[in-house]
Amino acid sequence: MSGNAHGGFSYAEMSRTLIKDCVVVPVTAPGFFTGSVGVEGGRIVLVADNAREEDRRRVEEFRTAAARGPGSCPPREMDGRGKLLMPGLVNTHTHVAMTLMRNMADDLPLMAWLRERVWPFESRLTPGDITVGARLGMAEMLLSGTTTLIDMYWHEAAVARAARETGIRALLCPSFIDGERMSGFERDLDETLAAAEGVETLTVRPAPHAAYSCSAENLRRAVDLARRHNLGITIHVSETLDEQRMIRERHGCTPTEYLRDAGVFSVPAIAAHCVHVTDGDIEILRTNGVTVAHNPQSNMKLASGAAPVARMLDAGVNVTIGTDGASSNNDLDMWDEMRSASLLGKLTAADPAVMPAWEVVKMATAAGARAIGMEGRLGIVAEGAIADLILVDTQKPHWYPHNNPVSALVYSARASDVHTVWVNGREVVSGGRLTSLDTDALMRDVQRCVASTCVSP
Protein backbone atom coordinates (compact mmCIF):
# COMPACT_ATOMS: atom_id res chain seq x y z
CA MET A 1 0.00 0.00 0.00
CA SER A 2 1.46 3.32 -0.98
CA GLY A 3 0.63 6.87 -1.88
CA ASN A 4 2.17 10.23 -2.64
CA ALA A 5 1.28 13.88 -2.39
CA HIS A 6 -1.08 13.86 -5.35
CA GLY A 7 -0.70 10.47 -6.98
CA GLY A 8 -3.66 8.92 -5.26
CA PHE A 9 -4.43 6.04 -2.96
CA SER A 10 -3.41 2.57 -4.04
CA TYR A 11 -6.47 0.35 -4.33
CA ALA A 12 -4.55 -2.92 -4.32
CA GLU A 13 -6.52 -5.45 -2.32
CA MET A 14 -5.54 -5.60 1.30
CA SER A 15 -4.46 -8.92 2.86
CA ARG A 16 -6.48 -10.49 5.64
CA THR A 17 -6.09 -8.62 8.92
CA LEU A 18 -6.81 -9.67 12.50
CA ILE A 19 -7.05 -6.97 15.18
CA LYS A 20 -6.61 -8.86 18.45
CA ASP A 21 -7.55 -8.20 22.07
CA CYS A 22 -9.03 -4.72 21.69
CA VAL A 23 -12.08 -3.17 23.31
CA VAL A 24 -14.85 -3.43 20.70
CA VAL A 25 -17.76 -0.97 20.55
CA PRO A 26 -19.97 -2.64 17.93
CA VAL A 27 -22.84 -0.08 17.94
CA THR A 28 -25.18 -2.95 17.04
CA ALA A 29 -26.28 -2.92 20.70
CA PRO A 30 -25.37 -0.88 23.78
CA GLY A 31 -22.10 -1.73 25.45
CA PHE A 32 -18.66 -3.06 24.64
CA PHE A 33 -16.51 -6.16 25.04
CA THR A 34 -12.88 -7.22 24.71
CA GLY A 35 -12.33 -9.26 21.60
CA SER A 36 -10.89 -9.60 18.13
CA VAL A 37 -12.06 -8.51 14.68
CA GLY A 38 -11.06 -10.03 11.35
CA VAL A 39 -11.18 -8.18 8.01
CA GLU A 40 -10.91 -9.62 4.53
CA GLY A 41 -11.77 -8.25 1.09
CA GLY A 42 -13.19 -5.00 2.44
CA ARG A 43 -15.63 -6.72 4.79
CA ILE A 44 -15.69 -7.68 8.45
CA VAL A 45 -15.61 -11.49 8.49
CA LEU A 46 -15.06 -12.13 12.19
CA VAL A 47 -16.25 -10.45 15.39
CA ALA A 48 -15.23 -12.46 18.44
CA ASP A 49 -15.73 -11.92 22.17
CA ASN A 50 -12.73 -13.12 24.19
CA ALA A 51 -15.05 -14.22 27.00
CA ARG A 52 -16.66 -16.89 24.79
CA GLU A 53 -14.84 -20.16 24.22
CA GLU A 54 -16.49 -20.65 20.82
CA ASP A 55 -15.31 -17.22 19.70
CA ARG A 56 -11.75 -17.92 20.85
CA ARG A 57 -11.82 -21.06 18.69
CA ARG A 58 -13.06 -19.04 15.70
CA VAL A 59 -10.18 -16.59 16.10
CA GLU A 60 -7.68 -19.47 15.93
CA GLU A 61 -9.43 -20.81 12.82
CA PHE A 62 -9.17 -17.38 11.17
CA ARG A 63 -5.46 -17.22 12.02
CA THR A 64 -4.68 -20.61 10.51
CA ALA A 65 -7.21 -21.05 7.68
CA ALA A 66 -5.27 -18.96 5.16
CA ALA A 67 -2.17 -21.16 5.55
CA ARG A 68 -4.00 -24.31 4.44
CA GLY A 69 -4.22 -23.52 0.75
CA PRO A 70 -1.35 -23.37 -1.76
CA GLY A 71 0.33 -19.97 -1.90
CA SER A 72 -1.71 -18.66 1.02
CA CYS A 73 -0.41 -16.99 4.14
CA PRO A 74 -1.65 -16.22 7.64
CA PRO A 75 -3.44 -12.92 8.27
CA ARG A 76 -1.56 -9.85 9.33
CA GLU A 77 -2.06 -9.56 13.08
CA MET A 78 -2.33 -6.30 15.00
CA ASP A 79 -2.06 -6.12 18.77
CA GLY A 80 -5.14 -4.22 19.91
CA ARG A 81 -4.33 -4.16 23.61
CA GLY A 82 -4.78 -0.67 24.99
CA LYS A 83 -6.91 0.32 22.02
CA LEU A 84 -10.60 0.55 21.15
CA LEU A 85 -12.11 -0.57 17.83
CA MET A 86 -15.32 1.01 16.55
CA PRO A 87 -16.99 2.02 13.28
CA GLY A 88 -15.56 5.00 11.43
CA LEU A 89 -17.36 8.28 12.06
CA VAL A 90 -19.86 9.61 9.49
CA ASN A 91 -19.84 13.40 8.98
CA THR A 92 -23.28 14.02 7.46
CA HIS A 93 -22.88 17.68 6.57
CA THR A 94 -19.83 19.60 5.47
CA HIS A 95 -18.42 21.79 2.71
CA VAL A 96 -14.99 20.24 2.65
CA ALA A 97 -13.21 22.70 0.33
CA MET A 98 -14.13 25.53 2.71
CA THR A 99 -11.00 24.59 4.64
CA LEU A 100 -9.49 27.30 2.41
CA MET A 101 -11.62 29.83 4.32
CA ARG A 102 -10.70 28.63 7.79
CA ASN A 103 -10.33 31.60 10.16
CA MET A 104 -10.99 34.25 7.48
CA ALA A 105 -14.69 35.06 8.01
CA ASP A 106 -15.29 34.81 11.74
CA ASP A 107 -17.59 36.55 14.21
CA LEU A 108 -20.38 37.46 11.78
CA PRO A 109 -24.08 36.50 11.56
CA LEU A 110 -24.96 33.96 8.89
CA MET A 111 -26.33 36.26 6.18
CA ALA A 112 -23.47 38.77 6.50
CA TRP A 113 -21.01 35.86 6.66
CA LEU A 114 -22.40 34.49 3.37
CA ARG A 115 -22.96 37.70 1.42
CA GLU A 116 -19.97 39.75 2.52
CA ARG A 117 -17.23 37.13 2.92
CA VAL A 118 -18.02 33.61 1.76
CA TRP A 119 -19.82 34.06 -1.56
CA PRO A 120 -17.38 36.73 -2.89
CA PHE A 121 -14.42 34.49 -1.98
CA GLU A 122 -16.03 31.41 -3.51
CA SER A 123 -16.69 33.24 -6.76
CA ARG A 124 -12.90 33.27 -7.35
CA LEU A 125 -12.33 29.57 -6.68
CA THR A 126 -11.33 27.29 -9.54
CA PRO A 127 -11.88 23.51 -9.65
CA GLY A 128 -8.16 23.14 -8.92
CA ASP A 129 -8.49 25.28 -5.78
CA ILE A 130 -11.44 23.17 -4.65
CA THR A 131 -9.45 19.95 -5.06
CA VAL A 132 -6.66 21.38 -2.91
CA GLY A 133 -9.11 22.48 -0.20
CA ALA A 134 -10.89 19.12 -0.33
CA ARG A 135 -7.60 17.23 0.08
CA LEU A 136 -6.90 19.27 3.21
CA GLY A 137 -10.32 18.63 4.71
CA MET A 138 -10.22 14.92 3.91
CA ALA A 139 -6.78 14.59 5.45
CA GLU A 140 -8.06 16.27 8.61
CA MET A 141 -11.09 14.00 8.74
CA LEU A 142 -9.28 10.73 8.09
CA LEU A 143 -6.62 11.52 10.69
CA SER A 144 -9.40 12.13 13.22
CA GLY A 145 -11.37 8.97 12.41
CA THR A 146 -14.03 10.20 9.99
CA THR A 147 -14.33 7.60 7.24
CA THR A 148 -17.43 8.96 5.46
CA LEU A 149 -18.43 12.52 4.61
CA ILE A 150 -21.44 14.08 2.95
CA ASP A 151 -20.15 17.08 1.03
CA MET A 152 -22.29 19.91 -0.32
CA TYR A 153 -20.56 22.27 -2.75
CA TRP A 154 -20.14 22.97 -6.42
CA HIS A 155 -17.45 21.58 -8.75
CA GLU A 156 -18.01 18.32 -6.88
CA ALA A 157 -16.11 16.44 -9.59
CA ALA A 158 -13.04 18.23 -8.19
CA VAL A 159 -13.98 16.98 -4.71
CA ALA A 160 -14.37 13.47 -6.15
CA ARG A 161 -10.77 13.65 -7.35
CA ALA A 162 -9.56 14.37 -3.80
CA ALA A 163 -11.74 11.56 -2.41
CA ARG A 164 -10.22 9.06 -4.82
CA GLU A 165 -6.72 10.22 -3.86
CA THR A 166 -7.26 10.00 -0.11
CA GLY A 167 -9.41 6.86 -0.08
CA ILE A 168 -12.22 8.40 2.00
CA ARG A 169 -15.86 7.40 1.46
CA ALA A 170 -17.93 10.33 0.21
CA LEU A 171 -21.45 11.27 -0.78
CA LEU A 172 -20.89 14.13 -3.23
CA CYS A 173 -23.70 16.68 -3.45
CA PRO A 174 -23.41 19.31 -6.24
CA SER A 175 -25.17 22.42 -4.96
CA PHE A 176 -26.87 25.43 -6.52
CA ILE A 177 -28.70 28.65 -5.71
CA ASP A 178 -31.01 30.62 -7.99
CA GLY A 179 -29.21 32.74 -10.57
CA GLU A 180 -25.82 32.28 -12.14
CA ARG A 181 -24.86 29.08 -10.31
CA MET A 182 -28.08 27.37 -11.38
CA SER A 183 -27.02 27.56 -15.02
CA GLY A 184 -24.11 25.19 -14.51
CA PHE A 185 -25.78 22.88 -12.03
CA GLU A 186 -26.83 20.09 -14.38
CA ARG A 187 -23.37 20.04 -15.94
CA ASP A 188 -21.85 19.87 -12.47
CA LEU A 189 -24.14 16.97 -11.56
CA ASP A 190 -23.29 15.09 -14.76
CA GLU A 191 -19.56 15.62 -14.25
CA THR A 192 -19.80 14.44 -10.64
CA LEU A 193 -21.75 11.33 -11.63
CA ALA A 194 -19.08 10.56 -14.21
CA ALA A 195 -16.29 11.10 -11.67
CA ALA A 196 -17.95 8.74 -9.20
CA GLU A 197 -18.85 6.03 -11.72
CA GLY A 198 -17.30 2.69 -10.87
CA VAL A 199 -15.83 3.90 -7.56
CA GLU A 200 -17.36 1.85 -4.75
CA THR A 201 -16.73 4.51 -2.11
CA LEU A 202 -18.33 7.43 -4.01
CA THR A 203 -22.02 8.24 -4.43
CA VAL A 204 -23.86 11.38 -5.57
CA ARG A 205 -27.03 13.38 -4.93
CA PRO A 206 -28.11 16.92 -5.91
CA ALA A 207 -28.15 19.64 -3.25
CA PRO A 208 -30.34 22.73 -3.58
CA HIS A 209 -28.84 25.27 -1.18
CA ALA A 210 -31.90 26.22 0.90
CA ALA A 211 -35.55 27.24 0.80
CA TYR A 212 -34.63 30.95 0.83
CA SER A 213 -32.11 30.67 -2.04
CA CYS A 214 -33.98 28.30 -4.40
CA SER A 215 -37.32 28.85 -6.10
CA ALA A 216 -40.00 26.17 -5.99
CA GLU A 217 -39.43 25.66 -9.72
CA ASN A 218 -35.72 24.98 -9.25
CA LEU A 219 -36.39 22.76 -6.25
CA ARG A 220 -38.74 20.65 -8.36
CA ARG A 221 -36.11 20.54 -11.10
CA ALA A 222 -33.59 19.13 -8.60
CA VAL A 223 -36.11 16.55 -7.42
CA ASP A 224 -36.79 15.50 -11.02
CA LEU A 225 -33.06 15.03 -11.56
CA ALA A 226 -32.79 13.01 -8.35
CA ARG A 227 -35.62 10.73 -9.48
CA ARG A 228 -34.15 10.37 -12.97
CA HIS A 229 -30.85 9.14 -11.53
CA ASN A 230 -32.38 7.28 -8.54
CA LEU A 231 -30.75 9.65 -6.05
CA GLY A 232 -31.73 11.58 -2.94
CA ILE A 233 -31.48 15.26 -1.96
CA THR A 234 -29.37 17.20 0.54
CA ILE A 235 -30.41 20.72 1.60
CA HIS A 236 -30.06 23.33 4.38
CA VAL A 237 -33.31 23.65 6.36
CA SER A 238 -34.43 26.18 9.00
CA GLU A 239 -30.95 27.21 10.05
CA THR A 240 -31.82 30.71 11.30
CA LEU A 241 -34.74 32.86 12.42
CA ASP A 242 -34.05 35.08 9.39
CA GLU A 243 -34.75 32.10 7.14
CA GLN A 244 -37.99 31.38 9.00
CA ARG A 245 -39.05 35.02 8.62
CA MET A 246 -38.21 35.19 4.90
CA ILE A 247 -40.13 32.04 4.02
CA ARG A 248 -43.15 33.02 6.11
CA GLU A 249 -43.24 36.45 4.46
CA ARG A 250 -42.89 35.02 0.95
CA HIS A 251 -44.98 31.86 1.22
CA GLY A 252 -46.95 31.94 4.47
CA CYS A 253 -45.45 28.73 5.83
CA THR A 254 -42.36 27.33 7.49
CA PRO A 255 -39.31 26.32 5.42
CA THR A 256 -40.05 22.66 6.19
CA GLU A 257 -43.62 23.03 4.90
CA TYR A 258 -42.38 24.88 1.82
CA LEU A 259 -39.90 22.14 0.96
CA ARG A 260 -42.49 19.43 1.53
CA ASP A 261 -44.93 21.18 -0.80
CA ALA A 262 -42.19 21.56 -3.43
CA GLY A 263 -41.69 17.78 -3.35
CA VAL A 264 -38.19 17.85 -1.84
CA PHE A 265 -39.09 15.21 0.74
CA SER A 266 -40.61 12.86 -1.84
CA VAL A 267 -37.10 11.43 -2.38
CA PRO A 268 -34.61 10.37 0.32
CA ALA A 269 -33.54 13.63 1.94
CA ILE A 270 -30.96 14.93 4.39
CA ALA A 271 -31.92 18.22 6.03
CA ALA A 272 -28.95 20.07 7.52
CA HIS A 273 -29.42 22.11 10.71
CA CYS A 274 -33.20 22.14 11.45
CA VAL A 275 -32.58 24.60 14.29
CA HIS A 276 -35.92 26.39 14.21
CA VAL A 277 -38.56 23.72 13.68
CA THR A 278 -42.07 23.45 15.05
CA ASP A 279 -43.72 20.28 16.31
CA GLY A 280 -45.52 20.18 12.97
CA ASP A 281 -42.20 20.43 11.14
CA ILE A 282 -40.81 17.56 13.19
CA GLU A 283 -43.80 15.44 12.25
CA ILE A 284 -43.22 16.25 8.56
CA LEU A 285 -39.60 15.16 8.91
CA ARG A 286 -40.61 11.94 10.64
CA THR A 287 -43.40 10.92 8.31
CA ASN A 288 -41.27 11.59 5.23
CA GLY A 289 -38.24 9.73 6.57
CA VAL A 290 -36.03 12.82 6.39
CA THR A 291 -32.64 12.59 8.12
CA VAL A 292 -31.52 15.63 10.12
CA ALA A 293 -27.81 16.54 10.09
CA HIS A 294 -27.18 18.31 13.40
CA ASN A 295 -24.28 20.82 13.39
CA PRO A 296 -24.06 22.11 16.97
CA GLN A 297 -20.76 24.00 16.85
CA SER A 298 -21.52 25.87 13.64
CA ASN A 299 -24.97 26.75 14.98
CA MET A 300 -23.44 28.07 18.19
CA LYS A 301 -20.68 30.03 16.46
CA LEU A 302 -23.10 31.76 14.06
CA ALA A 303 -25.61 32.22 16.92
CA SER A 304 -28.19 30.44 14.79
CA GLY A 305 -29.70 28.70 17.81
CA ALA A 306 -29.88 25.22 19.28
CA ALA A 307 -31.76 22.51 17.42
CA PRO A 308 -34.35 20.59 19.50
CA VAL A 309 -32.53 17.31 18.99
CA ALA A 310 -34.00 15.49 21.98
CA ARG A 311 -37.53 16.25 20.73
CA MET A 312 -36.66 15.07 17.23
CA LEU A 313 -35.14 11.84 18.55
CA ASP A 314 -38.17 11.23 20.76
CA ALA A 315 -40.40 11.70 17.71
CA GLY A 316 -38.47 9.05 15.79
CA VAL A 317 -36.50 11.30 13.42
CA ASN A 318 -33.13 9.95 12.29
CA VAL A 319 -30.72 12.58 13.66
CA THR A 320 -27.04 12.49 12.72
CA ILE A 321 -24.01 14.70 13.32
CA GLY A 322 -22.08 16.96 10.95
CA THR A 323 -19.35 19.54 11.37
CA ASP A 324 -20.46 21.99 8.66
CA GLY A 325 -17.58 23.69 6.84
CA ALA A 326 -14.28 24.76 8.36
CA SER A 327 -15.22 28.39 7.75
CA SER A 328 -18.06 28.25 10.25
CA ASN A 329 -16.72 25.81 12.84
CA ASN A 330 -13.54 26.03 12.33
CA ASP A 331 -12.49 22.39 12.25
CA LEU A 332 -13.77 19.06 10.98
CA ASP A 333 -13.40 17.25 14.30
CA MET A 334 -16.32 14.90 14.92
CA TRP A 335 -15.17 14.15 18.49
CA ASP A 336 -15.63 17.82 19.42
CA GLU A 337 -18.94 17.77 17.57
CA MET A 338 -20.21 14.71 19.45
CA ARG A 339 -19.33 16.27 22.79
CA SER A 340 -21.00 19.55 21.81
CA ALA A 341 -24.11 17.71 20.60
CA SER A 342 -24.50 15.96 23.93
CA LEU A 343 -23.82 18.97 26.14
CA LEU A 344 -25.91 21.39 24.09
CA GLY A 345 -28.75 18.86 23.96
CA LYS A 346 -28.77 18.56 27.73
CA LEU A 347 -28.69 22.33 28.19
CA THR A 348 -31.46 22.96 25.65
CA ALA A 349 -33.75 20.32 27.15
CA ALA A 350 -32.77 21.28 30.73
CA ASP A 351 -32.35 17.57 31.32
CA PRO A 352 -28.95 15.90 32.00
CA ALA A 353 -30.36 12.50 31.03
CA VAL A 354 -31.02 13.35 27.37
CA MET A 355 -28.42 12.82 24.63
CA PRO A 356 -26.50 10.13 26.57
CA ALA A 357 -23.14 9.00 25.25
CA TRP A 358 -24.53 5.81 23.68
CA GLU A 359 -27.13 7.77 21.70
CA VAL A 360 -24.52 10.24 20.46
CA VAL A 361 -22.14 7.48 19.32
CA LYS A 362 -25.00 5.98 17.29
CA MET A 363 -25.78 9.39 15.78
CA ALA A 364 -22.17 9.67 14.59
CA THR A 365 -22.01 6.15 13.13
CA ALA A 366 -25.05 3.93 12.51
CA ALA A 367 -27.50 6.83 12.06
CA GLY A 368 -25.15 8.37 9.51
CA ALA A 369 -25.07 5.07 7.63
CA ARG A 370 -28.88 5.05 7.61
CA ALA A 371 -28.85 8.57 6.16
CA ILE A 372 -27.05 7.36 3.03
CA GLY A 373 -29.06 4.16 2.63
CA MET A 374 -26.41 1.88 4.13
CA GLU A 375 -28.11 0.88 7.37
CA GLY A 376 -26.84 -2.49 8.58
CA ARG A 377 -23.90 -2.38 6.17
CA LEU A 378 -21.94 0.60 7.50
CA GLY A 379 -21.48 2.32 10.84
CA ILE A 380 -21.38 -0.91 12.84
CA VAL A 381 -18.89 -3.64 13.77
CA ALA A 382 -20.65 -6.80 12.64
CA GLU A 383 -19.82 -9.78 10.48
CA GLY A 384 -20.70 -9.02 6.87
CA ALA A 385 -20.57 -5.24 7.34
CA ILE A 386 -18.21 -2.99 5.37
CA ALA A 387 -14.83 -2.59 7.06
CA ASP A 388 -14.87 1.17 7.69
CA LEU A 389 -13.20 1.00 11.10
CA ILE A 390 -11.06 3.05 13.46
CA LEU A 391 -8.66 1.99 16.19
CA VAL A 392 -8.40 4.49 19.05
CA ASP A 393 -5.49 4.69 21.49
CA THR A 394 -6.84 4.65 25.05
CA GLN A 395 -3.43 4.69 26.76
CA LYS A 396 -3.44 8.39 27.53
CA PRO A 397 -4.08 10.25 30.79
CA HIS A 398 -7.42 11.70 29.66
CA TRP A 399 -8.76 8.13 29.19
CA TYR A 400 -7.96 6.98 32.74
CA PRO A 401 -9.41 5.36 34.70
CA HIS A 402 -11.06 3.02 32.20
CA ASN A 403 -14.52 3.07 33.76
CA ASN A 404 -16.80 3.32 30.71
CA PRO A 405 -15.25 3.43 27.24
CA VAL A 406 -18.50 4.45 25.53
CA SER A 407 -18.79 7.50 27.77
CA ALA A 408 -15.11 8.23 27.18
CA LEU A 409 -15.68 8.32 23.41
CA VAL A 410 -18.04 11.27 23.78
CA TYR A 411 -16.79 13.09 26.86
CA SER A 412 -13.02 12.42 26.88
CA ALA A 413 -11.71 11.27 23.49
CA ARG A 414 -9.73 13.52 21.18
CA ALA A 415 -9.05 13.48 17.47
CA SER A 416 -5.37 12.85 18.19
CA ASP A 417 -6.26 9.54 19.84
CA VAL A 418 -7.04 7.94 16.46
CA HIS A 419 -4.32 5.43 15.66
CA THR A 420 -5.46 3.42 12.61
CA VAL A 421 -8.23 3.96 10.07
CA TRP A 422 -9.63 1.56 7.47
CA VAL A 423 -12.01 2.52 4.66
CA ASN A 424 -13.49 -0.38 2.74
CA GLY A 425 -10.90 -2.59 4.40
CA ARG A 426 -7.96 -0.49 3.22
CA GLU A 427 -5.65 1.10 5.77
CA VAL A 428 -5.66 4.83 5.07
CA VAL A 429 -4.19 5.94 8.41
CA SER A 430 -1.45 3.91 10.10
CA GLY A 431 0.06 4.86 13.44
CA GLY A 432 -1.57 8.27 13.20
CA ARG A 433 -0.14 9.02 9.73
CA LEU A 434 -1.89 9.15 6.35
CA THR A 435 -0.84 6.44 3.92
CA SER A 436 -2.11 8.25 0.83
CA LEU A 437 -0.89 11.87 1.10
CA ASP A 438 2.23 13.73 2.11
CA THR A 439 0.64 16.10 4.65
CA ASP A 440 3.62 18.48 4.71
CA ALA A 441 3.45 18.92 0.93
CA LEU A 442 -0.33 19.27 1.15
CA MET A 443 -0.13 22.09 3.68
CA ARG A 444 2.38 23.94 1.50
CA ASP A 445 0.02 23.54 -1.48
CA VAL A 446 -2.86 24.97 0.54
CA GLN A 447 -0.89 27.98 1.68
CA ARG A 448 0.27 28.72 -1.87
CA CYS A 449 -3.29 28.33 -3.14
CA VAL A 450 -4.73 30.82 -0.65
CA ALA A 451 -1.82 33.27 -1.05
CA SER A 452 -2.02 33.38 -4.83
CA THR A 453 -4.91 31.93 -6.79
CA CYS A 454 -7.68 32.24 -4.25
CA VAL A 455 -7.08 35.79 -3.10
CA SER A 456 -6.27 37.31 -6.46
CA PRO A 457 -8.82 39.85 -7.72
Same domain for 171 and 59: no
- Yes or no: say if 98 and 325 are a contact pair by the CB < 8 Å rule: yes
**Residue 457's pLDDT is what?**
36
Q: Is 238 helix (H, G, I), strand (E, B) or coil?
A: coil
Look at residue 68 and tell me whether its pLDDT is greater than 60: no
Same domain for 282 and 216: yes
Same domain for 105 and 83: no
Model pLDDT for residues 281-301, shown as the tens digit of each residue: 999 999 999 999 999 999 999
Q: Before 330, cis peptide (omega within 30)?
A: yes
CB atoms within 10 A of CB 120: 11
**The pTM is what?**
0.94
Model pLDDT for residues 17-58, shown as the tens digit of each residue: 999 999 999 999 999 999 999 999 999 999 999 999 999 999
In a domain, 1, yes or no: no
Same domain for 56 and 178: no
Model pLDDT for residues 183-213, shown as the tens digit of each residue: 789 999 999 999 999 999 999 999 999 999 9
Same domain for 220 and 207: yes
Same domain for 96 and 81: no
Model pLDDT for residues 74-85, shown as the tens digit of each residue: 889 999 999 999
Strand 389-393 with 418-423, pairing: antiparallel
CATH number of the domain bearing residue 45: 2.30.40.10
Alpha-carbon distance of 37 to 32, in angstroms, equals 13
The total of structural domains in the chain comes to 2
Strand 389-393 with 83-87, pairing: antiparallel
Domain region containing 182:
89-371
Choose one of 371, 390, 413: the last residue of a domain: 371
In a domain, 445, yes or no: no
Same domain for 187 and 156: yes
Look at residue 101 and tell me whether its pLDDT is greater than 80: yes
